[in-house]
Structure 1
């Protein structure tokens, strides 16, 4: 059996792990976009090192862009197999791909109109039409129920937290059990249940996003309260760049709680992410996947102004009253949050609240590192706004969560492959796991091929 790391090796994004069985069956676990700096994003334009037409199956862990966002390219370049996923992952992936394609088309059009791209003409990575063609390939699988990909190859999904529908995967192939963590959530998540731990594994592919970090023992609700009140008193706007899936809903829940308790003022509270609004419907349709009751979902939504069209976005942007705006994307790589930041990043009374992981090279990472100006649509804007981070809202487990995820193993795995992280996180997580359990950890390189 052979495994090849086509993405998320030596970096956080672009998750793609190719498994080739003894008889030549090829299974791709996740098919995500690279996000971050120019070099990483350029990888999205490269052909896979194997022909997509030779891949038999795709098995998705969840619906984030860095795990499903390359599917339109895969299909467009010849993939004609099945894409397995959970029910919520199918719904979320479809939204994510539609949104991604639309943003890419809009940005290509804007680049061509304003001539700030070195490509002439600038083209989208894929179109809405190409994204539409992915949906018929999805096959929904129940959680905790083994299913057969073909004779001799079985897979089982088990709950991972992180976002709605996210699962880890146990793959039984050629007499070996391969476990792919996907992205692991937190034991104390605001909306989701704790992740389920694996019991048996010969090989483990473990995400390492926060492999060198421990989340602070803080109260994100209290931090949000302080931030909102301080910004309101300055007459400013709170801009919260947010991932549309799960993070928007978590922040909404906390703000709703604060408002019910009379701890934050009356002012506009705005959700400006059409995809995030649609995800709320998926939440109400999938109650068994999360902690919220239907009444809580509807009560929470009633507090917010939901913006769905761009005319309303423009109106909100030019309304200078104090307000709180939650808008995608979470790493400030695209989406409507850029339009808000064009106007508000230059104002000292503004607060930009970072609430999730920021990959290397993204605008969000640069803001956290104290960048004095950021580039948006070819123009540079001085950063005068206050930038703060609320770490307690991350959907990723920290080092303790990742290490504890291995604590119920009843056998010693042959290897643990550390993926989906950066150099420091790999190195520190490897040392902690080897010290605590004595398991051998391998840090694969991008495109590396290893025989199991």
Structure 2
């Protein structure tokens, strides 16, 4: 069995792992690279294996770094089945359509304003390319074995990361392989705890927070203090947020604070069309999260939902203090840029980051103290207060990842640490050996391993 690490190694983006069995090629996730230009450029490179020769995609969840390259896979010849859960199908359709739309818009803007070195600037893929993925989705229930061939079958089991997110147990050639996908926190605000593997010869474990522990801070208190302080000085709170699960988590926390009169009665705005659509996915899939339908309805009532860009402009130029949740979470694109264009250079405002900021992203740069930020071909001074609210990540921390291994009934032959920057992955490798005595390795991008 050959395993090709085509993405999500040494980085938290571009997740792609290819398995070559006797007669079958399976790709686990097919994500987009984000962050520094060297990584983004990889999206334009051909896959190491001809896409038309791949039989099946197993999709752990619908985040862009796990599903965002699917339109190119299909465009370049893949015509097999894409297996996933029902919420993952719904979310992936939204994510891919949004990604394609943003790329088309940014290419058009670059051509109009001549800030790209490419003439003409082209989107990585179009909305039409994204739509060609949908007919290939095949929905399966968790904890149900699905046969791919006479000798190969797989099972999804919930990983608690976002709605529909699952790990994968794959049986092939008398071996059991476990792919964690992204693993959520054991005590997430909205998600149920992750299900843990019992047996695996080879385990592919994410390591995003492999070298860190989430702080044991009171997230409610952090949000209360940041919002109150900013509003008192006449500023606006801009919250760049991932449209899937993070928007809904932040909404829930703010709703609870408002119910308790701990934050002022100002405008609370959700400006992410995709985030709004994900609320429908929450309503459609109550077994995947902790909120009941009544709570979902009451929570939504306190927020102004913006879908039309004209309303975005009106909100931006409204001088009254407000709290705005807008995509994207690492400030890589989306409507949050329109708010930051007007607000990031003013001292009274706050940019509240609520999740992991990958290397090379605008979010990471301002978090590390960058004095200016570039978007739309221009540089903007960073004068607004930049704060990180930790503990809201949809990823488990080092303890959660170590605990995810604690129900294994026997020692795995090898653990591969993926989906983490090198320092995080290597720290987790040491901790796994220290706690369990298990051998783990950090594969290189493009590496092939035989097992």
Relative to the length of structure 2, the TM-score reads 1.00
Question: For residues 315-330 of structure 1, what are the structure 2 equivalents within 5 Å?
Answer: 315-330=314-329
**Following the alignment from structure 2 to structure 1, what is the Cα–Cα distance between the partners of residues 398 and 319?**
41
**Following the alignment from structure 2 to structure 1, what is the Cα–Cα distance between the partners of residues 125 and 257?**
41
Structure 2 match to 1:271:
270
How much has 1:150 moved relative to structure 2? 2.1
Structure 2 match to 1:116:
115
Structure 2 match to 1:20:
20
**Following the alignment from structure 1 to structure 2, what is the Cα–Cα distance between the partners of residues 388 and 358?**
12
Question: For residues 351-362 of structure 1, what are the structure 2 equivalents within 5 Å?
Answer: 351-362=350-361
Question: For residues 92-131 of structure 1, what are the structure 2 equivalents within 5 Å?
Answer: 92-131=91-130
Question: For residues 385-396 of structure 1, what are the structure 2 equivalents within 5 Å?
Answer: 385-396=384-395
How much has 1:384 moved relative to structure 2? 0.2
How much has 1:151 moved relative to structure 2? 1.8
**Following the alignment from structure 2 to structure 1, what is the Cα–Cα distance between the partners of residues 213 and 366?**
21
**Following the alignment from structure 2 to structure 1, what is the Cα–Cα distance between the partners of residues 87 and 425?**
30
Moved over 6 A (4+): none
Structure 2 match to 1:262:
261
**Following the alignment from structure 1 to structure 2, what is the Cα–Cα distance between the partners of residues 245 and 11?**
21
**Following the alignment from structure 1 to structure 2, what is the Cα–Cα distance between the partners of residues 102 and 273?**
13
Question: For residues 165-314 of structure 1, what are the structure 2 equivalents within 5 Å?
Answer: 165-314=164-313
How much has 1:149 moved relative to structure 2? 1.5
**Following the alignment from structure 2 to structure 1, what is the Cα–Cα distance between the partners of residues 259 and 307?**
25
List gaps (5 residues or longer) in structure 1: none
Q: Deviations over 1:298-355 (max 9, x none)?
A: 0000100000010000000111210000000000000000000000000100000010
**Following the alignment from structure 2 to structure 1, what is the Cα–Cα distance between the partners of residues 319 and 144?**
52
**Following the alignment from structure 1 to structure 2, what is the Cα–Cα distance between the partners of residues 307 and 371?**
30
User: Is 2:76 the partner of 1:50?
Assistant: no
User: Is 2:404 the partner of 1:405?
Assistant: yes
Q: CA-atom RMSD, angstroms?
A: 0.5
How much has 1:77 moved relative to structure 2? 0.2
User: Is 2:11 the partner of 1:8?
Assistant: no
Secondary structure, counterpart of 1:371 in structure 2: coil
Structure 1 match to 2:421:
422
How much has 1:152 moved relative to structure 2? 1.2
How much has 1:10 moved relative to structure 2? 1.2
**Following the alignment from structure 1 to structure 2, what is the Cα–Cα distance between the partners of residues 41 and 74?**
16
How much has 1:109 moved relative to structure 2? 0.1
Secondary structure, counterpart of 1:392 in structure 2: coil
**Following the alignment from structure 1 to structure 2, what is the Cα–Cα distance between the partners of residues 2 and 26?**
10
Secondary structure, counterpart of 1:112 in structure 2: helix
**Following the alignment from structure 2 to structure 1, what is the Cα–Cα distance between the partners of residues 365 and 319?**
26
**Following the alignment from structure 1 to structure 2, what is the Cα–Cα distance between the partners of residues 127 and 226?**
42
Secondary structure, counterpart of 2:155 in structure 1: strand
**Following the alignment from structure 1 to structure 2, what is the Cα–Cα distance between the partners of residues 414 and 189?**
31
Structure 2 match to 1:343:
342
Question: For residues 125-144 of structure 1, what are the structure 2 equivalents within 5 Å?
Answer: 125-144=124-143
Structure 1 match to 2:374:
375
